[in-house]
Structure 1
Amino acid sequence: MTKKTLTVRPLEERTEAPPLQKRGRGWNIGEKRLDAIHEMARAMKREPTPAHALLAEKFAAQELGKYRLHRQVVIGSAIVDFACQPLKVAVSIDEGGDPAITARRDKSLEAVGIQLLRFPAADVLADPDAVVTTVIAAMKARWEERRARGRARPAPSARQGYSR
């Protein structure tokens, strides 16, 4: 029996990400693989790294209103350390790993409109308050973009209302 290994094709050989399938199911991912990804995210949530635990504690202390950062969120086939899905902001803590896989994941997240903020674990441990400030500033900027888009829509005219 041969063992399958994961390989990453060079960026030049890859095509665009396929369109999203049904809600919450990502990029045409098999059910078994998606279940395995969710189980991996649960395991990562149960056993956080020191940088992840510190940043989670700092985010929990912030007053973010209805826009919360959730830990170990599955987006497509990627697991991000923190995400605010209504604002489409995600945070990833770099703790090593294959840069080719990381670049591919970042590209696929950005293709669907997710703003990914990446921080080295050493920076998180050295100055977590600066990381929190950067993330909150990005969330506020996305919120302002959403608000500006909402205002840009034309207001309904008086004729479009109900007649009595």
Structure 2
Amino acid sequence: MRNQKSLSFAKKLRSQPTEAEGRLWYHLRAKRFAEAKFRRQTVIGPFIADFTCRAAMLVIELDGDAHGNTVEADAARTAFLEAQGWRVLRFSNNDVISNIEGVLSAIVRFLPLSPTLSPEGERE
């Protein structure tokens, strides 16, 4: 069962995104990206994942400067999420800010294929 304290904290994080989170969320929100539904600040066990796509069982984590000092904690977090069936992708805030296209290219490889539109505008 989800802890109310974690849910409240996740809500606070959603209302105060970092610059990198805001930039990535712009592309992921409202099924704009590969028609995949993403959520942000999702509570999974004792953790709050930055972005999730349930259909792909994908967690996207953005690591700021502070994460350089938390390598062991990040590894334990990733191990927990993977044990729950999630795949975890990590990007630095700098990657998102300076190379958003590269980040999106990496993410799309982990998403289920979505129907594409033919040149006539009909779904194939």
Instruction: Tell me whether the two structures share a fold, i.e. TM-score over 0.5.
Output: yes
| CA displacement at 1:71 relative to structure 2 | 0.9
The structure showing larger relative contact order (alpha-carbon pairs under 8 Å, at least 6 residues apart) is 2
For 1:139, what is the secondary structure of its paired residue?
coil
Aligned partner of 2:81 in structure 1 is 109
Q: Matched residue of 2:89: which SS?
A: strand
| Residues in 1 aligned to 2:55 and 2:33: alpha-carbon distance in whole angstroms | 16
TM-score, length-scaled by structure 2:
0.80
State the one-letter code of the partner of 1:114. Answer: W
Match of 1:126 in 2: 98
Confirm whether residue 54 of structure 1 aligns to residue 20 of structure 2: no
Unpaired stretches in structure 1, ≥5 consecutive residues: 1-24, 26-30, 145-164
- In 2, distance between residues paired with 1:45 and 1:132? 20
Question: Given that residues 27 and 33 in structure 2 are in contact (C-alpha distance below 8 angstroms), is that contact kept between their aligned partners in structure 1?
Answer: no
CA distance in 2 between partners of 1:130 and 1:62 (Å): 17
- Structure 2 unaligned spans of 5+: 115-124
Q: CA RMSD, aligned part only?
A: 1.9
Alpha-carbon shift at residue 103 of structure 1 (Å):
1.3
1:156 aligned residue? none
TM-score of the pair, normalised by structure 1: 0.61
What does residue 59 of structure 2 align with? 90
Cα offset, 1:135, TM superposition: 0.8
Matched residues, number: 110
Structure-2 separation of matches of 1:90 and 1:114: 6
8 Å CA contact 2:63–2:90 kept in 1: the answer is: yes
